[in-house]
Structure 1
Amino acid sequence: MNKRHIAAAAAALALSITLAACSGSGDDSGSSASATAMSHIHGLGIDPSDQRLYVATHAGVYTPDAKGEPQLVGDSTDDFMGFTVAQDQTFYASGHPSQGGNKGLIKSTDAGKTWKALSLSGQSDFHSLDYAHGAVYGYDSTAGLLRTSKDGATWKDGAQLQAFDIAVSPKDPDLVLATTADGIARSSDGGKTFAKGTQPVMAFLSWRAQDALYGIDPSGGFHRSEDGGASWTKTATVPGGQPQALTAVDAEHVLAATGIGVYESKDGGNSWKQRLAVDSPTNP
């Protein structure tokens, strides 16, 4: 095995370990509520109506309070795995109820205060959700396939694949990217089929502007592509190493979560500022 293949295998293994650590739905006894929540982040978003940050976690959705400390939104402490902000105060999510099981697709129209079940309750756990072109795109980890829905109630099943995250082109509704252990897999038919993943290996992707596709690798390296993933430029390393989530708000505004914090960049990932600290389970 040559050095390049060894590096790729190591990156894939690190990614698998990272995501396995974040996918459990059990109880984290012995930690405070905020420490437990902020040590397992699964999604990030900014509400366009007021530019407030929202963090989807293993124990509910949180937002910074007046002092910049994480505050639970609403009263749900369920495990929010997939999470995306669609538009003003409108969020989609998935995951596990606190007592176990699968939530299917759920929706909030009051910025996470309350949630309504839309479909696939008890059946599906979407580990990645994206809202684009008036549709929900989801990677259903339970079935291992890409699904799309215009109304959140009825779904079109796409390809089966082992994916970690998905991103949809802001220009072309048929162009969908997925991160896999082999690299980035590409679909040009709306997720019906995917080509085999190609290097580089990325943990998460986010795509809000045509010339600003962002990716974060398993070690926290932050990358930008201006040509839809054909080539990449590493611009920085997000503090904290292994990533937990990535969301591009627009062409220059990006959010990333690692093991030590939620970070924000407003210059396309060249510099980062911590928005919220993350409490390590081993260092409460």
Structure 2
Amino acid sequence: MKKHRAALAAALTAALALALTACGSDDASGPAGGSGAPTALSHIHGVGSSAGKLYVATHEGVYTPAADGSPALVGERKDDFMGFTVTPQGAFLASGHPAPGTGGPSNLGLIASADKGASWTTRSLGGEVDFHSLDTAPDGTVYGYDSTNGRLRVSRDGVAWQDRAELKALDIAVAPGTPGTVLATTEEGVVRSTDDGRTFAEPLSKQLVAYVSWGAPDALFGIDPSGVLLRSADAGATWSRVSVLPGGAPQALTALDARRVLAATQDGVYESADGGRTFTRRMAVTSGGDGH
């Protein structure tokens, strides 16, 4: 058990290191389109859904599945979308870096799309911040892990931001039913804040988790660094094993509700309709190692 935990800790530490170094690199990617063969996308950073349609944020733009399951680019921007989320109100929020050769500041700050990724506008912090993880509360409050400065930041309107705790995290999740409760995944374990991110307590348990997403107040999902899908009914204090994700190393996770779960791994993006017990591949890709 100690050796297994040490291996998982090493994997999570590597993922955290990659989160700080992978952004901004000029990895080559193959053409996106309907060839039927997996398309090369160097990293997947986030997954979401709007009106039943899958959206995948990557190092080379936002994609959705074509008719044959291969990635089709949404809009024209091929920026490095590091952070990505779909708000309860249906807006797309993202962060990251502009595509090579497009000019502009190296950090996008918070950008938003009101047309499902076809076009984007800068909301705030352009040139200042690269959010590696974004999540929203039911009231629309935006939470972002500012990787540039190593801290959590919170905004009620996506424009004015408040600084919160400093920490080294890979992913964050905001509780849907408990205002002010935020989780962050770290190399020591999942840490929890109950004061809107101002402070985080010691790790909740010995369980290491790479990515977390809340589908319902009693349905918190997590993926450990080896690809095991976990579920917690008590906000991360204890976890139960659900299944093993297909396709290799995990890269992103979004729980749409207590039953519908989206997960990205090295060979594609998968969807579950039964709480993570079984998955169907929605989009086929070939990609690099860990996400972020």
Alignment CA distance shift 1:88-1:38 (3 Å): farther
Q: 1:241 to 1:32 in 2, by over 3 A?
A: closer
Among 123, 143, 168, the residue aligned to 1:118: 123
User: Conserved in 2, the CA contact under 8 Å of 1:247 and 1:256?
Assistant: yes
Letter in 1 for 2:92: F
What's 1:24 paired with?
23
Q: Which residues of structure 1 form unaligned runs of 5+?
A: none
Post-superposition shift, 1:281? 5.6
Any idea what SS the aligned residue of 1:84 has?
A: strand
Q: Give, as a single letter, the amino acid of the residue that structure 1 aligns with 2:125.
A: L
Q: Answer 1 or 2: higher relative contact order, Cα 8 Å, separation at least 6.
A: 2
Q: 1:202 aligns with which of 209, 232, 238?
A: 209
Is 1:246–1:255's contact at 8 Å kept on the other side of the alignment? yes
TM-score w.r.t. structure 2 length? 0.90
Kindly tell me the number of residue pairs found equivalent between the two proteins. Answer: 276
- Provide the C-alpha distance between the structure 1 equivalents of 2:264 and 2:62, rounded to a whole number of angstroms: 14
Query: Given the alignment of the two structures, is residue 61 of structure 1 paired with residue 62 of structure 2, yes or no?
Result: yes
CA distance in 2, matches of 1:67, 1:228: 38
Residue 177 in structure 1 maps to residue 178 in structure 2 = no
Amino acid aligned to 1:173: P
Asked if 1:272 is matched to 2:270, the reply is: no
In 1, Cα distance between the equivalents of 2:287 and 2:235?
35
Correspondence 1:127-146 to 2 at 5 A: 127-132=132-137, 133-146=139-152
Identity of aligned residues (%): 55
Query: In structure 2, what is the Cα distance between the partners aligned to 1:188 and 1:267?
Result: 30
Give how far 1:260 is off: 1.3
C-alpha distance in structure 2 between counterparts of 1:185 and 1:18, whole Å: 17
Distance 2:109 2:30 in 1: 27
Separation (CA, whole Å) in 1 of partners of 2:89 and 2:181: 25
Q: 1:138 to 1:249 in 2, by over 3 A?
A: same
User: What amino acid is the match of 2:60?
Assistant: A
SS at match of 2:99: coil
Q: Contact 2:30 / 2:41 at 8 angstroms: preserved in 1? A: no
- Pairwise CA RMSD of aligned residues? 1.8
Structure 1 residues 249-268: aligned runs within 5 Å: 249-268=256-275
Q: Hey, what's the Cα distance between the residues in 2 that align with 1:18 and 1:187?
A: 22
Cα distance in 1 for partners of 2:236, 2:154 equals 22
Q: Deviations over 1:161-192 (max 9, x none)?
A: 01110011111121100000000001010000
5+ unaligned residues in a row in structure 2: which ranges? 33-37
54-63 vs 31-40, which moves further: 31-40
Supply the AA of the counterpart residue of 1:200. Answer: Q
1:33 counterpart (31, 34, 40): 31
* Partner AA of 1:38 in structure 2: L
From 12, 17, 39, the counterpart of 1:15:
12
